[in-house]
């Protein structure tokens, strides 16, 4: 058990965290301010809690991972979220990414195939009073037809190709950000814009995510 940090230590930790984000290209003031509001330490439990403020992915329950903060920042930046947007996140995991989006968008739907992760993230959203997030246990590769279309879609697990239902559930003018590629290799972070004519694809950077798996998980 580590000691509880005092206010000075906490302020310094936060400054270092934000400095690292900036130095890795997360330079947008709105995104940084949203990330400043969400304490990553609340989303990492157990053994790895002490490393919550380091810029690295960390293990969470169900064999999954909470993404690296700078990657969360760059994906949030690429999503170009505005305050009117309805957003779908596929891959709730710890709930960290959804919590950041909740400060930037009107409404967040987040789905995960593991009920336990959804339950735990939902409890955190309530505790943090993030009332514009709805967390649902579902196979997100089918999207969320009842709530479609979405202004923005973010996928935090890697598929080999952008799932057709997600492309279809993106509003015209909408943006989707997702990692694409095989799970055991380096993947590409892709930005998709839906226009009246079709879809435009932009490759952003190499990333590494857990795979998008079909069907609900065991727990």
Residues in contact with ligand SAH by CB under 6 A are 64-67, 90-91, 93-94, 96-97, 111-114, 117, 139-141, 156-157, 210, 212-214
Query: Is the CB of 1 or the CB of 183 nearer to ligand SAH?
Result: 183
Q: Which residue has the tokens 């005092």?
A: 6
For the chain, the distance separating the N- and C-terminal CA atoms, rounded to the nearest angstrom, is 28
Q: Phi and psi dihedrals of 179, rounded to 5? A: -80, 140
At closest approach, how far in Å is the CB of 110 from ligand SAH? 8
From residue 160, give the alpha-carbon distance in Å to each of 47, 48, 82, 89, 181.
32, 30, 28, 18, 4
Token pair for 36: 């400043």
One of 2, 67, 94, 188 is an active-site residue; which one? 67
Beta carbon nearer to ligand SAH, 40 or 194: 40
Quick check: is 94 catalytic?
A: no
Residue 17 or 200: the one with the smaller Cβ distance to ligand SAH is 17
Q: How far is the CB of 148 from ligand SAH (least distance, A)?
A: 15
Return the percent helix, strand and coil in the chain, to nearest 5. 35, 25, 35
Q: Which is nearer to ligand SAH, 65 or 134 (CB)?
A: 65
Q: Say if CB 91 and CB 157 are below 8 A apart.
A: yes
What is the SS3 assignment for 147? helix
Number of H helices, E strands in the chain: 6, 9
Q: Cα–Cα distance between 142 and 163 in angstroms, integer?
A: 8
One-letter-per-residue 3-state SS of 22-59? HHCCCCCHHHHHHHHHCCHHHHCCHHHHHHCCCCCCEE
Nearest residue (CB) to ligand SAH, 128 versus 213: 213
Catalytic residue ranges: 67
């Amino acid at each position: 058990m580590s000691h509880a940090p005092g206010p000075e230590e906490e302020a310094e930790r936060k400054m270092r965290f934000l400095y690292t984000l900036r130095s890795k290209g997360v330079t947008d003031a709105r995104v940084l301010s949203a990330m400043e509001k969400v304490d990553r330490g609340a989303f990492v439990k157990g053994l790895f809690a002490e490393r919550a403020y380091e810029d690295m992915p960390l293990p969470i329950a169900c064999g999954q991972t909470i993404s690296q903060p700078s990657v969360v920042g760059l994906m949030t930046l690429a999503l170009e979220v505005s305050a009117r947007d309805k957003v779908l996140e596929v891959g709730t995991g710890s709930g960290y990414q959804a919590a950041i989006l909740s400060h930037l968008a009107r409404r967040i739907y987040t789905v995960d195939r593991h009920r336990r992760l959804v339950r735990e993230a939902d409890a955190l959203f309530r505790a943090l009073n993030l009332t514009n997030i709805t967390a649902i246990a579902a196979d997100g590769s089918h999207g969320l037809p009842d709530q479609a279309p979405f202004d923005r879609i973010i996928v935090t697990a890697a598929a080999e190709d952008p799932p057709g239902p997600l492309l279809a559930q993106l509003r015209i003018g909408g943006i989707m950000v997702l990692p694409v590629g095989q799970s055991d290799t380096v993947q590409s972070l892709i930005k998709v814009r839906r226009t009246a004519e079709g879809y435009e694809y932009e490759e952003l950077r190499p990333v590494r995510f857990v795979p998008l798996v079909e069907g609900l998980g065991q727990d």
